[in-house]
Amino acid sequence: MEIIKEEIQKKIEDLRKEIGHEEAEVNIKEIIYIPAEEKLIIITPDRPDKSAVIGKGGWVVGRLKESLGVKNIHVAAYVDIMVKEYRMKLALKKLNNFLSLDNPLPLSNLKKLLLKKMENPHDFNFMDYFNLTDHPYNDSSDIKNDQHTLVALSGGVDSSFSLIIAHLLGFNPLALTVDPGTIVLPNHFKNNIESLCHLLKVPQVYVPADFTGIINDSFQGRFHPCGPCSKKVHEKIFDYAHKNNFKIVIFGDLLSTGCQSILSSEGIIRINLPALLGVSKQELKKVSYHFGVKKVAGFGCPLLGEVEKKFPHMSRYSIQRVLRETRSGALEPGEALELIWSSCKHFK
C-alpha cells in the first residue's frame, strides 16, 4: 500500500468535517507504514497537531483506520520523541560509567539494546529485537551460573517487563517479592509472579514484611499508604541485596529517567529499567502480556482501594501519581483517564 502524506492530511481534514469537528490545520511531519504489521505511524510536529489527527474521543483516527484498512495507527508528536531521545542519551552517558565492572556483559547487552532503541524511539519492537515472535520464550545465551542481579517483582506489568528484559539480556536475575500480606499483595499478583518466574525458569523469593503500622495508620486517615509502603519495600529489597551480596538491583520505575535511571549507592547499582530505556506503558504491556502476565484492573492494591473508599480525598494523591506518569510521557492520556476514573469511583 502506498501512503502519501498529503493525501492523509486531506483525508483527515475531510473526516473532521464529516464528524462535525471544528476546522483545524492538519500538520504531519512524517508518515511510516509497516506492511508486515499493517501499521501506520503518523508523526506530527507538536502535541496540538497530534490532537487534531486523533480527534475528540479518538473519532478521527478511528475513522481513518477504517478508511485505510490498516490494523493499527499510532500517532506521535515529534516534540515528545525529542524529549525521549534526549533522556536516553543522558541514560547512555551514565550507563557508560558502569561498563568497566568485573562482569560488564549484561550491562553491555543493555547498552546495545538502548542504542538500538535510540534509533527508533517512537516505535521500537522488543518482540523483533529478541526474536520473541518465532521463539516466544527465548533464553539469553550470555548467562552465567552465578546469581548477580536482583529484580524487584510486584506482579504488575512494569516490574514484570523488567524481569523479562533482565532475563533476556543475560542478567541472570533472582526475582524478589516483598510480601506484606494479601491486603497489599493479593493472590492475582502472586499468580502473575509465580507463573512468569516458572515460564522464564527464574528463581523467585518472597520476603515477609510487617506492614501493620502502615495499614493501621492508613485506615485512620493519617496518610496515603503508597509513600510509606514504597519506602519500606525499598528498604527490604536493599537489605536483602546487601545481606546476599547482590551488586545490581533492577526496578520497574518509569519516572526516574535520564541520569536518574541508573545510580550507585553503597556498592549497589540501581537500574530503573523501563525509565532507562524510555519505555511507554503500551510497550511494557505488549511484552508482559506476551509472557502471560494478566491485566490487573484499576489502580493500586486492595489497601489503597479500601483507604480511598473510607477517605475519598486520598484519591487526589493517587491521581497525582497518574498525572506524573502522563506528564513524563509514560502514560497516554486515554490510559491516564481510565486510571483516574478508577480512583474516582468512591466519590458520590
The closest of 293, 298, 321, 92 to 200, measured between CA atoms, is 293
pTM of the predicted structure, to 2 decimals: 0.90
CA dihedral 51, 335, 284, 271 (to 10 degrees): 90
Q: 124 and 76: one domain?
A: no
Q: 61 and 193: one domain?
A: no
* 314-341: pLDDT as tens digits: 888 889 888 988 887 778 777 888 888 8
* 261-293: pLDDT as tens digits: 999 998 999 999 999 999 988 899 999 999 999
Q: 241 and 140: one domain?
A: yes
* Contacts of residue 142, Cβ cutoff 8 Å, sequence gap at least 6: 105, 106, 109, 169, 170
Q: 214 and 152: one domain?
A: yes
Is residue 153, in this structure, part of any structural domain at all?
yes
- Single out the residue in 35, 65, 80 at which a domain terminates: 80
- Single out the residue in 274, 294, 314 at which a domain terminates: 294
pLDDT interval class at 141 (50, 70, 90): very low
* 97-139: pLDDT as tens digits: 998 666 568 999 999 999 999 999 888 999 999 998 776 666 6
Q: 231 and 267: one domain?
A: yes
Q: In what order do the strands lie in the sheet with 248-251?
A: 204-208, 173-179, 149-152, 248-251, 268-272, 262-265
Domain count, the chain: 2
Is residue 284, in this structure, part of any structural domain at all?
yes
Q: How far is CA 292 from CA 125, 127, 160, 277, in A?
A: 18, 14, 10, 22
CATH code assigned at 28: 3.30.300.20
Q: 235 and 115: one domain?
A: yes
Whether the Cβ atoms of residue 259 and residue 328 lie closer than 8 Å to each other: no
Exposure string for 76-90, b = 16+ CB within 10 A, e = fewer: bbbebbebbbebbeb
Q: 168 and 290: one domain?
A: yes
Is residue 55, in this structure, part of any structural domain at all?
yes
- For residue 167, give its domain range: 104-294
Q: 128 and 198: one domain?
A: yes
Is the pLDDT at 296 greater than 90? The verdict is no
Rounded Cα distance between 195 and 202, Å, is: 10
pLDDT interval class at 144 (50, 70, 90): low
Q: 129 and 274: one domain?
A: yes
Q: 134 and 271: one domain?
A: yes
Three cell numbers, residue 11: 483525508
Whether the Cβ atoms of residue 92 and residue 69 lie closer than 8 Å to each other: no
Q: 138 and 234: one domain?
A: yes
Phi, psi angles (nearest 5°) of residue 66: -65, -45
Task: Write out 276-337 in H/E/C secondary structure.
Answer: HCCCCHHHHHHHHHHCCCCCCCCCCCHHHHHHHHHCHHHHHHHHHHHHHHHHCCCCCHHHHH
Is the pLDDT at 30 greater than 70? The verdict is yes
